[in-house]
Structures are given as C-alpha cells and as structure tokens.
Amino acid sequence: MSVLLIYPIVLIQWIDSMALPATYLMLFSVSLFLKLTSFHHVYYDNRYLMRRIKAAKKPEQAVEDLATLFNVNERTFAIAMKYPNNLKCWHYLRYMFAPTCCYQHIYPTSPSIRVGYVIKRMFEITFCYWFMWYLIYQHMMPIAKTSIKPMKERDYLQVLLHTLHLAVPASYLWLTVFYSTFHAWLNFLAELTQFADRRFYSDWWNAGNLSEYWRKWNQPIHNYLLRHIYFPCRRSGLSAPTCLLITFTISAVFHEYVVVGIFSIVNFVAFFLMMANIPCMLLQKQLKNVISGNTNNMLFWLVYVIFGQPFGFLLCYYQMTERNQEFQVSLEVPFP
C-alpha cells in the first residue's frame, strides 16, 4: 500500500510532469488507496461477523433473526453469510470503477446505460479540461510570475494586490475543478457502472458554517471518513472531539500529500489550513447564536476563495521557483 502512495510522486518527478496532469494522478492514487482500504475493512468486518455468529452458536437461526440480532441489514447479512463465496470478481471490478470509496456487498443499480447521457458528460469533461488549461496558463501563470519579485522583497502590499488580482481566475478554476470532478466525471463513471447513488455533493455553496461545508462538499470522501475513521474511533470508546481531531488529521495528511505531489514542495500549508478548521468549527459552534449562517457563508467565500486559494497558489509557485533557480518549472509550458 505504501508503494501505491510513493510511486505517483516518484513518477511526477521522473517525467517532470505538469501541474494539471499531476493533480489528477495524485487524486487517482488517493482514491485507489481509499478504495483498497475500504475493501479490506469490509471483509475484515465480514470475517469478524462470522466469528461472532459461530461464538454465539446460533448459525441455525433464520437469516432475518440473525440480522436483527447483530444489527445488520437483512440483505447485506444474507450475502455476508456466504463468505468467502461472496467475493465476486465482477463486483470487485465494478467497485473499483464506481464513483465511491466505500465498498459494499450491495449497491443501488440503474436499469441501463444511457448513451446520450454518457456523451454529454464526456463533452463536459473535455470542455472543462481545456478551460482549466486556459485559466492556468493564460491568466494565473502570468500573475504568479510577476508576484515572485514582491514575494522575495517581502512587499506585502504588492503581494496582497497580486492575490486579489488572482482571485477571479482562481475562483473560476476552483469551480471548474469542482464541476468537472464531482458532477461530470463522477456521473460519467456512475452511468458506465450503472451506479444509482448519484449524491456526490450537496449545496455546499449555501453552507452556514464550516462543519456543514465539509459534510456537503465531497460526499464520497466524507462518507469514507465517517465509515472507516470516525465511527470506528467512536466505537472504540473515544470522545467525539478526539474522533474529530483524528479524522481531520488524516484528511490533512492526505491534502498535504496531494500538494507535495503537484508542486514538489513540502511546506505544510495544506496540512495546517485543514487543521485550522477544527478550532474554527468549534468557535462557530459556540457563536452560533451571535454570528448568523449568512455571515459565516460570506466569510467563507471571502477568506477561503478570494484570499486563501489565490495566496496559496502564489506561495507554492514562489517556493517552486526558489527550488529551481532557472525558473524552468514544470508549469511553464506553452498553451496546447
């Protein structure tokens, strides 16, 4: 499993990959890692369930009675009882291509594949990809290059102006990445695999606090963190704040891992920004009767989108150029 996480970074360094392909390679590696760990956890629980049934000495009872006794869905329990014969190659392959990071014995299934729907999603993915290239190399890169001098000279006013100048294209890029990934790409995979659960995101743009935002922004990852990290920690007897800290720490580590692969630098910016969500969420909870949800939403768009992401991009680009004094970084390629 460790090779699965190390190989993408080595490959990106070896071929001197550009940022956009490197981003998708890192995200693919993370999703594959999560899928494999979920598969392992589910069958570990399956084997544990079989041991519990054997220890209870009640294998002769009806399936519905045992499912009620062990608090497991009846249909899922019936399949789990067939272990190891419930390991099906086709179901595993479908899971690996399906837009979910949580393995299950049963998935909701659509009756057929709509060809027109698939073509539409393919067109959206292609358009979004080229639009992202356009934003990065025609709008964001020129600003990032001119920001190197004020960053070196610690001219904070100019850095602020460059950050504000970058805010609009960075916001468009972020929203395009969101749409292409969570709407176009995941629905494309869902249609091909006849995966009927299409709730990949909710109305995160209306979130009244950070806790609501993280629940709605990325449903596949949120479901994975709940199922394989938060709830197992709770079942082990840990308090809710401790489980929240562990969950966000693991998420922060993977955010930093993705940034390291894309920009080839280790600055822990992504890690600490993710960890900063915890005190902010606790503060918002304490002030929920003082600060309205609309105010929190406005602060989110102001701090995270207008200032946070543009400045993070400038900082990472500056550190890349500092690491490579010839300024021949992997991002500097002509627009295709």
- Copy the structure tokens of residue 129: 């990809």
* Paired residues of 109 in beta bridges: 195
- Answer yes or no: is 328 within a domain: no
Which has the minimum average pLDDT: 1-15, 46-60, 77-91, 246-260?
A: 46-60
Q: In this predicted structure, what is the pLDDT of residue 82?
A: 80
Distances (CA, A) of 230 to 193, 223, 283: 28, 10, 21
Q: Render the burial of 280-303: b for 16+ CB within 10 Å, e for the rest.
A: bbeebeeeeeeeeeeebbeebeee
Which of 284, 282, 310, 289 is closest to 299 using CA atoms? 284
The position carrying tokens 């993915």 is 125
* pLDDT tens track for 1-10: 677 888 888 8
Return d(Cα 308, Cα 301) in angstroms, integer. Answer: 9
* pLDDT tens track for 291-328: 888 888 888 888 888 888 888 888 888 887 877 654 44
Return d(Cα 297, Cα 39) in angstroms, integer. Answer: 36
pLDDT band per the 50, 70, 90 thresholds, residue 209: confident
Return d(Cα 103, Cα 36) in angstroms, integer. Answer: 9
- Answer yes or no: is 336 within a domain: no
Q: In this predicted structure, what is the pLDDT of residue 16?
A: 75
What is the domain extent for residue 280? Answer: 2-323
- Answer yes or no: is 330 within a domain: no
How crowded is the C-beta side of 162, counted as CA atoms within 13 Å?
Answer: 25
DSSP 204: G
10 Å Cβ neighbour count for 189? 17
Q: In this predicted structure, what is the pLDDT of residue 117?
A: 94
- Answer yes or no: is 23 within a domain: yes
Q: In this predicted structure, what is the pLDDT of residue 68?
A: 58
Which of 38, 11, 87, 90 is closest to 227 using CA atoms? 38
* pLDDT tens track for 151-180: 888 888 998 999 999 999 999 998 999 999
- Answer yes or no: is 298 within a domain: yes
Please compute the mean of the pLDDT values over residues 48-64 and round it to a whole number. 67
- Answer yes or no: is 280 within a domain: yes
Return d(Cα 185, Cα 200) in angstroms, integer. Answer: 11
DSSP secondary structure letters along 144-165 = HHHTHHHHHTT-HHHHHHHHHH
Share of the chain above pLDDT 90, in %: 30
DSSP 109: B
User: Based on the structure, what is the number of domains in the chain?
Assistant: 1
- Copy the structure tokens of residue 280: 């902010």
pLDDT at 334 over 50: no
- Answer yes or no: is 332 within a domain: no
Which has the minimum average pLDDT: 69-73, 122-126, 328-332?
A: 328-332
Question: 255 catalytic, yes or no?
Answer: yes
Residue 229 near residue 37 (C-beta atoms within 8 A):
no
Mean pLDDT over each residue of the chain, to the nearest integer: 84
Q: In this predicted structure, what is the pLDDT of residue 330?
A: 45
- Copy the structure tokens of residue 320: 């890349």
Q: In this predicted structure, what is the pLDDT of residue 327?
A: 44
- Answer yes or no: is 105 within a domain: yes
* pLDDT tens track for 219-257: 999 999 999 999 999 988 898 889 989 999 999 999 999
Residue 188 near residue 118 (C-beta atoms within 8 A):
yes
Q: In this predicted structure, what is the pLDDT of residue 335?
A: 40
Of the residues 105, 222, 228, 255, which is catalytic?
Answer: 255
